Structure 1
Amino acid sequence: MLTKPLISVCLITYNHKDYINNAIESILKQKGLKEESWEIIIADDCSTDNTQTIISDYKKKYPKRINTILHKMNIGADKNFIGLLAKAKGKYIAYLEGDDFWTDENKLKIQFEFLEKNRHLVGCFGNSNVIDKNNRVIEKFFLKTKIPNEISQKDLWNSNYLGQTGTLMFAKSALDKIHPIFYKYPWDRILQFGLADHGNWGYIDKIFSSYRIHSAGTYSMIGSKKQLENLNEINKTIYSVKNWRKKYNHILRKKLSYLNLELYKQNVKEKNNLKKIKSMFAVLYYCESKTQAIKALLKNF
């Protein structure tokens, strides 16, 4: 068994029987690093399909390389993610979801060497392509704008600079120091934002993975209003942290007033009076210009 690996590859999954083989194989195909220098940890949240059987078969085939967490009861994606990260022993953590897969067989080697040469960075990421359930490429690039070589915490307010999770590698030492709010809300954006308290992110201009959009995917299952609500919750969570609120008060208020105004418009259309009132007061609270807020609300009443 590995004692202290350089890299922990953390694979999270739930009901991914049609895709989990691709994910695991893309990890096993990694080149350029000694096998004993990195570990694979797979956490499954009590899948109701054949996912756990497939994982168990891989565990039998690679008993020294693969560690598994196979939950017998569904604990939810957040707790599964936190539990998975807690098992990581590596200096660096690479993360992958069970319906995605890596496309570059040198991903781990490239990112490991990059971070070893740039010790001031908290982590790094690359680009992805976007595919459908049949592996057809929908979008050649997940990140469509030019990304700087280094991304600060402030830069992360530009959502175009947020790395897709399957391309991330970050220092476990930074995760050990992340703000406790992450363990209450272990979301991708909070992870990337919280880690940036301890250093910038680096960007490597390569396609490292395929990100899958399908009917059973976490994000593709929710509608536009729910996406707005999720973004609102993420920004409210960041706003709740005193140091972040102090550093980014203007940006946060602007984002939260915009998101709540959009939710207000949706609630007016749906004639949801309770949510309409809630979003109206949120706009008034977060908008720095009360006059501007009132005008916007009246315009969409």
Structure 2
Amino acid sequence: MALNKKVNVIVLTYNQEGIITQTIESIVSQETAFNFDIIIGEDGSTDSTLNIILNLQKKYSNKIRIISSNRNRGMYANFLNCIKQLDAEFIAICDGDDYWVDSKKLQKQIDFLDKNKDFSLVGTLCKYLDVATNKFKEPNVFNEKYREYTFQEILSKNPFTTSTVVYRKFLLDDFLKFYNQNNNHLNSFLDYTLWIYFSYKSKCAILNNITTVYRLSPTNFSQNPALIKRWEFQLYFYNQFKFYIAALPKISQITINKATYCKAKQLYILALYNSDDAILAEFEAVFLKQRDYVRYFLLKFSRTFPQIIILAKNYEKLIIKINFKK
């Protein structure tokens, strides 16, 4: 095992025999002036994923640690098992179905964090691979070298792709203390939960470099074609958002109002599809308070006219076109 590691890279995987080699090889091939290793959380795969990563461990014995499970415990439990093994100054993440395409990715991010001590989380840009069509979608690049994101911006909408991020371990340790004090209310946490907390405590940024490929497929929770599953995923983070605005001190009412309005705009159509009356009532009140009367009346009449969903989708498409032309 490499000594004096500067970075631990966490990889969570389950039943990814066809793609996990590309993921691991893209990490091992990183060119750095420091030592790093890979902690692979293998969550009881029923295919040959475990055998593949065991062979990769033989090939790269000083780079790979495997935390395996005899059954599928889920993403959260898998992540908890991995973070117990952390022993480096920085943490990077690459999900098992994504991969890195810039051999200098880690070096660029560590250089940034070493130079900018007031930043604790830095991501990069990524491009998206539609596995159904095998076509890539390129991201919008910045004019600047990096873009800083405020707590209000991150609270309103997650700008980070998990497989791009690097963050300081001490901030995770700080979060875990906060979590242990509040776990009766927070219950569990995933990536976006961490980014909100980190941005509350420190500065966060995204570098203007494309380093990662994110696979768009039905196996991604956020891309699940089953609307009820997608809503469960989004509702999880929405409930954690509500916990944060209640639990974190010194958040201004202006910030809370703006972030809550953004959440309502992002989620109300999915809530309509899933007929979540409790959440729809919350969003209805938010739209009325913000004098967004179009969305307010769309929700107000949705219980009487189910076809409101189509009107709402068309309205959101129109808003996107108008904003694009500005």
TM range (shorter): 0.7 to 0.9
The equivalent residue for 2:301 is 299
Cα offsets for 1:120-144 (capped at 9, x unmatched): 0011111111113389342012x56
User: Is 1:46 equivalent to 2:48 in the alignment?
Assistant: no
- What one-letter code is carried by the residue in structure 1 that aligns with 2:272? K
The farther-off stretch of 276-285 and 233-242 is: 276-285
User: Could you say what secondary structure the match of 1:58 adopts?
Assistant: helix
Counterparts of 1:17-166 in structure 2 under 5 Å?
Answer: 17-34=17-34, 37-133=35-131, 136-141=134-139, 149-157=147-155, 159=157, 162-166=159-163
Mind listing any 5+ residue stretches in structure 1 that lack a counterpart? 268-274
User: Is 1:198 equivalent to 2:201 in the alignment?
Assistant: yes
Quote the sequence identity (%): 21
Alignment: residue pair count:
290
CA contact (8 A) 1:8 1:41 kept: yes
The equivalent residue for 1:270 is none
CA contact (8 A) 2:224 2:230 kept: no
CA contact (8 A) 1:253 1:287 kept: no
Distance in 1, matches of 2:271 and 2:55, equals 50
User: Is 1:187 equivalent to 2:194 in the alignment?
Assistant: no
Distance in 2, matches of 1:196 and 1:85, equals 20
Distance in 2, matches of 1:131 and 1:168, equals 18
By how many angstroms is 1:118 displaced? 0.5
Distance in 2, matches of 1:259 and 1:216, equals 21
Cα offsets for 1:254-277 (capped at 9, x unmatched): 24554675356335xxxxxxx554
CA contact (8 A) 1:41 1:66 kept: yes
- What one-letter code is carried by the residue in structure 2 that aligns with 1:170? Y
Check 1:265–1:11 CA distance in 2 against 1; reply closer, same or farther (3 A cut).
closer
Distance in 1, matches of 2:143 and 2:4, equals 37
TM-score, L = length of structure 2: 0.78
Distance in 2, matches of 1:294 and 1:128, equals 35
The equivalent residue for 1:250 is 257
Distance in 2, matches of 1:85 and 1:106, equals 24
User: Could you say what secondary structure the match of 2:221 adopts?
Assistant: coil
Check 1:167–1:259 CA distance in 2 against 1; reply closer, same or farther (3 A cut).
closer
TM-score, L = length of structure 1: 0.84
Distance in 1, matches of 2:260 and 2:156, equals 15
The equivalent residue for 1:7 is 7
CA contact (8 A) 1:260 1:282 kept: no
Check 1:22–1:294 CA distance in 2 against 1; reply closer, same or farther (3 A cut).
closer
By how many angstroms is 1:197 displaced? 2.1
- What one-letter code is carried by the residue in structure 2 that aligns with 1:67? R
User: Could you say what secondary structure the match of 1:149 adopts?
Assistant: strand
The equivalent residue for 1:272 is none
The equivalent residue for 1:212 is 215
CA contact (8 A) 1:95 1:169 kept: yes
The farther-off stretch of 249-258 and 79-88 is: 249-258
Distance in 1, matches of 2:248 and 2:241, equals 6
By how many angstroms is 1:229 displaced? 4.5
After superposition, the CA RMSD in angstroms is: 2.9
The farther-off stretch of 193-202 and 249-258 is: 249-258
